[in-house]
Amino acid sequence: MKLDRFDTTLAVLLALSVTGGGYLALAALPAKVTAIETRNMEKELATQARLTLLDKLYAPVTASVQEGNLQEALLKLEEVNTRYPGEAHGYILKGEILDRMGLPDQAATNFVQGIKLNGDYIDRRSPVTRRDIIRKIVDTRLDAAVAAYRSAPGNPTLKESLANLNYLKSRLAGGCE
């Protein structure tokens, strides 16, 4: 078979097209990787900014807790919560304070409210995780709450307390909302 100028031109154009397509595919690949890295970096920066804001907002509360002034910490926490209602961190801090005061049922109620607003507080890998204190409350109170509810099944307070502890237990086990 004899190759004329037309066949040669087509072969060269085909080779150029394949080479150009391969080059474009390779050039586009790093852009996708860069976009993923950019998204991850933005997420990390947003998390750091949120943590910094929470530290700044709740610094007086944390300082009072560290000093052992739990009543004062609750008052300061209420002041912050009136300015920023519905913030999950407020509920979590209140749960921690109530637990230190020896009120685990009320602490569990606040932990449930905080976790329903932001599940990061129960996530192992989260920088704001409170798994250990929540696990301690569930482990120490669940059996007593079950026994109390069985002795008075019509009591709505005991029912709510047991439901909160079961919810926390479920979330600790990896359950979803």
15-49 tens-digit pLDDT? 889 898 888 877 776 656 667 788 888 888 998 99
What confidence tens digit (pLDDT) does each residue in 93-128 have?
A: 999 999 999 999 999 999 999 999 998 999 888 889
Q: Give me the residue label for tokens 């439901």.
A: 163
The first and second tokens of residue 134, run together, are 């929540």
Alpha-carbon distance 157 to 79, whole Å? Answer: 27
Largest CA distance in the chain: 100
Per-residue pLDDT, 31? 59
Give the CA distances from residue 74 to residues 14, 51, 79, in Å, rounded to whole numbers and listed in that order.
Answer: 75, 21, 9
| Across 134-141, average pLDDT | 94
Helix (H) or strand (E) holding 97: helix 88-100
Question: Would you say residue 149 has pLDDT above 80?
Answer: yes
Q: HSE-up of 126 (CA within 13 Å, CB side)? A: 15
Alpha-carbon distance 71 to 87, whole Å? Answer: 20
Per-residue pLDDT, 14? 85
CB 159 within 8 A of CB 128: no
Domain segments of the chain: what residues? 1-45, 88-177
Backbone angles phi, psi at 84, to 5 degrees: -130, 70
Q: Tell me which residue of 58, 137, 63 sits closest to 95, measured CA to CA.
A: 137
